[in-house]
Amino acid sequence: MKIPSVITCIFLASTTANAWFLDSSMLRVANQSPIPLYVALYYTKGTIGTRITGPYYLPNNNALHLELPSPQFLSVRHLCVALSSEELSPTKDMRVAAKAMLGLFKATDYTACINQIEGTPQLFDTQIWNSYAPPHHYAPTALTHTALVEEENFLQKRFIQTHIAQELYCGHTLTRPLTIGLCASGGGFRAMLTIAGVMSGLEELGILPLIQTCLGLSGATWFLFPWLLSGETPTAYTSKLVTWLSQGLIHHLAEQYHDFATVIATKKAHRLSISGIDLYGISLAYTLLKPIHTNALELSMQDVAHTMIPEKSPLILGTAVTRPQPTDTYEWAVISPFALELLNDHLTVPIHLLGAQFHTYQQLSSPPPPRLCYLLGIFGSSFSISIRDALERVPEKLQPFVHKLLPESWQTRNWSNTKITAAKIANPRFQTIDSPHAHIKNITLVDGGYLNNLPLEPAVKASSRPFDLLFVIDCKQERTGRLKSLRDGWQAAHKEAPWLPEIDEEAVIAKPLSIHGDPATGSVIVYCTIEGDAEYDPLFNPAIDPDYATPRLIYPPERAERLVRYIRHVIVKHGEILRGIITTLGERQRLPQTPSN
């Protein structure tokens, strides 16, 4: 009986000794977050901690020196950090605490920061913190519900330039510039080649300088943003683009995986979410960005903003959708070289802060700006299908059968609507009072095609003025799906923009280019599809040609050039009609002549 007692005493003495030894009798805690935090010391037995001292106010970008209390028998000492003093209650469940253990060989110098993904405080050994996450000095930004000044300034200058160009085009002075935009659907490389043909055709007709904004979805953005960075005309850029596609996306794999490892290390250092979109974006960069820029993987939207000149190019916009939780509906997001705008309440996030953590609209972290290739991956991430997404896309007549076929339990489980490759970012509305999703720390950002492949709704929502003329490029191949997207997109857009003209579906089906609305009385939509033109080539119809189906990772140059050449032909063939529309719209805005004395 005496031997176990001796062993027990030795064990307890050893445990108590472990609690004594520290590098110093003083504890230093630094706050590297942009907001004040609170710290306290606890004795812990099991999972419950009893507060020893504190809470202490820890100002942002400052540090505290605390005297360590003596150890307590059979207890562990913990340093805890929290967003408020109330969280550091007299007794606390240590399983949910942001804490650091104090004891044998433990550090006595800690750094507090905010976890960018979860929005919660964390403690790091300062030596470890300095080795992989050096503090970033920045002026915190508060989010707003208005457009960024930089974007407004660009658009204002662009309207001035288009006003001059439109007056030259129409041959007389206009009371105001015509609001002309372009809205392009997704469709992978097919959409990219289609928008390339449209832009080349508009360039040939002299209409491109009249346009203020170009908004794209998914594959359309793969042309718009790299073209802008190239600094070339659409025609010159497209002539090179069609050759790059012969490589496809799956090439230089060893180099791509090496770059992926670098991205992972960088994101881990800043505690950012990592997904298959990172690797997908790198693959897009190797095909679309490396041929035009030696430092392709480091390019950001800020580089696009620096390249974009109002005198030469319209404002380029990409579309995506967010989903706070798998059971929530999608919400449109528009991404420009300046900002991300969540369109439900026009919340604006500066583009270099996409992924940063916010608390009640106040910036808490400053991660590296998102890479352009990563955003291109998000724009084109529609392949990240889930069970519920598949069910939503089943034709209505087949839905009852499919729902019965799949076990009901599959449709209600969390994993049934988790996108394997989806990008996750911190929720910019976290802990606000005016959002139903204020409690959610992360949101999913995916291809806008999940909501509607035809981005008519975000096009009119994002525009500060009603369009006089809107070019709509619908690259969807399957006709039934195309018409459904058109109906859904038009109805959603018409709620926001009653001036939007009706779309004649029969004309959309019958012709690759159709005109909707009367330029003499209202706004006009020029609707372009990839339907074939028998007069051009009775054997060529990209709307049914399997060579242009998606997903397709490789396009031989001759096949890519054939689609571009056809779409350019469609635009140029209707040149006189398009010129008549613009001049008629311009006539309505003719500045009255002042009688001379």
Number of domains in the chain: 2
> Contact, 216 vs 248, CB < 8 A?
no
Asked, for residue 5, whether it belongs to a domain, the answer is: no
Higher-scoring residue by pLDDT: 208, 591: 208
Amino acid 597: pLDDT: 45
Burial class of residue 571 in the structure, from the number of CB atoms within 10 Å of its CB (0-12 exposed, 13-18 middle, 19+ buried): buried
Asked, for residue 412, whether it belongs to a domain, the answer is: no
Q: What is the tens place of the pLDDT at every residue in 128-144?
A: 677 544 444 566 788 99
| Rounded mean pLDDT, 37-44 | 95
**Cα–Cα dist 356/368, whole Å:** 9
199 pLDDT higher than 80: yes
12 pLDDT higher than 60: no
**Cα–Cα dist 426/406, whole Å:** 33
Amino acid 128: pLDDT: 67
Asked, for residue 254, whether it belongs to a domain, the answer is: yes
* Same domain flag for 320 and 461: yes
18 pLDDT higher than 70: no
Closest by Cα among 361, 311, 305, 373 to 337: 305
Amino acid 11: pLDDT: 32
Closest by Cα among 374, 338, 333, 343 to 353: 338
| Rounded mean pLDDT, 463-476 | 96
| Rounded mean pLDDT, 358-373 | 88
* Same domain flag for 441 and 374: yes
CA distances from 111 to 76, 80, 153 (A): 20, 12, 41
Higher-scoring residue by pLDDT: 103, 371: 371
Amino acid 39: pLDDT: 96
Amino acid 4: pLDDT: 37
* Torsion angles phi and psi, residue 208, rounded to 5: -55, -40
Given 85, 105, 132, which residue is the final one in a domain?
A: 132
Amino acid 13: pLDDT: 38
391 pLDDT higher than 80: no
How many other CB atoms are there within 10 angstroms of residue 214's CB atom? 29
CA distances from 406 to 392, 400, 402 (A): 14, 10, 6
* Torsion angles phi and psi, residue 122, rounded to 5: -140, 160
| Rounded mean pLDDT, 568-579 | 97
* Same domain flag for 367 and 428: yes
Burial class of residue 82 in the structure, from the number of CB atoms within 10 Å of its CB (0-12 exposed, 13-18 middle, 19+ buried): buried
212 pLDDT higher than 70: yes
Asked, for residue 327, whether it belongs to a domain, the answer is: yes
β-pair type (347-350, 358-359): unpaired
Given 97, 132, 167, which residue is the final one in a domain?
A: 132
Residue with the two structure tokens 């790299």: 226
Amino acid 294: pLDDT: 86
157 pLDDT higher than 90: yes
Amino acid 262: pLDDT: 86
Amino acid 134: pLDDT: 45
| Rounded mean pLDDT, 273-300 | 92
| Rounded mean pLDDT, 380-409 | 69
Amino acid 264: pLDDT: 87
| Rounded mean pLDDT, 174-190 | 96
* Same domain flag for 124 and 224: no
**Cα–Cα dist 216/202, whole Å:** 16
Asked, for residue 326, whether it belongs to a domain, the answer is: yes
* Same domain flag for 200 and 99: no
Residue with the two structure tokens 């030894």: 21
95 pLDDT higher than 50: yes
Higher-scoring residue by pLDDT: 121, 179: 179
Q: How far apart are the first and last CA of the chain?
A: 124
Beta bridge partners of 321: 332, 446
* Same domain flag for 44 and 192: no
DSSP state of 59: -
Most confident among 55-69, 199-213, 363-377 (mean pLDDT): 199-213
Q: What is the CATH number of the domain that holds 335?
A: 3.40.1090.10
Amino acid 329: pLDDT: 87
* Same domain flag for 226 and 119: no
3 state SS of 138? coil
Rounded to the nearest integer, the mean pLDDT of the chain is 87
123 pLDDT higher than 90: no
Assign 119 a pLDDT band (cuts: 50, 70, 90). confident
Burial class of residue 202 in the structure, from the number of CB atoms within 10 Å of its CB (0-12 exposed, 13-18 middle, 19+ buried): buried
Whether cis (ω within 30° of 0) applies to the bond prior to 55 is yes
| Rounded mean pLDDT, 548-558 | 85
Given 132, 158, 178, which residue is the final one in a domain?
A: 132
CA distances from 287 to 81, 195, 248, 447, 548 (A): 46, 17, 7, 19, 18
589 pLDDT higher than 80: yes
Question: Is the Cα dihedral 179, 335, 375, 370 positive or negative?
Answer: positive
> Contact, 274 vs 367, CB < 8 A?
no
Q: What is the CATH number of the domain that holds 20?
A: 2.60.40
Assign 3 a pLDDT band (cuts: 50, 70, 90). very low
Asked, for residue 596, whether it belongs to a domain, the answer is: no
Amino acid 34: pLDDT: 83
* Same domain flag for 53 and 188: no
| Rounded mean pLDDT, 301-330 | 92
Q: What's the token pair of residue 352?
A: 């270099």
Assign 327 a pLDDT band (cuts: 50, 70, 90). confident
* Same domain flag for 106 and 234: no
**Cα–Cα dist 426/150, whole Å:** 24
Q: What is the tens place of the pLDDT at every residue in 410-452?
A: 666 655 666 667 899 999 998 888 888 888 888 999 999 999 9
Amino acid 17: pLDDT: 40
**Cα–Cα dist 439/443, whole Å:** 11
| Rounded mean pLDDT, 573-589 | 97
Amino acid 175: pLDDT: 96
* Same domain flag for 121 and 174: no
Would you give the distance in Å from CA 295 to the centre of its chain?
Answer: 21
* Same domain flag for 163 and 100: no
**Cα–Cα dist 377/422, whole Å:** 10
* Same domain flag for 492 and 436: yes
Which segments of 201-284 are extended strands (E)?
A: 213-217
Amino acid 93: pLDDT: 94
Amino acid 138: pLDDT: 60
| Rounded mean pLDDT, 529-536 | 94
**Cα–Cα dist 563/96, whole Å:** 58
**Cα–Cα dist 15/25, whole Å:** 19
Assign 1 a pLDDT band (cuts: 50, 70, 90). very low
Asked, for residue 427, whether it belongs to a domain, the answer is: yes
314 pLDDT higher than 80: yes
β-pair type (26-31, 62-67): antiparallel
Domain hosting residue 435, numbered range = 149-384+419-588
**Cα–Cα dist 95/27, whole Å:** 23
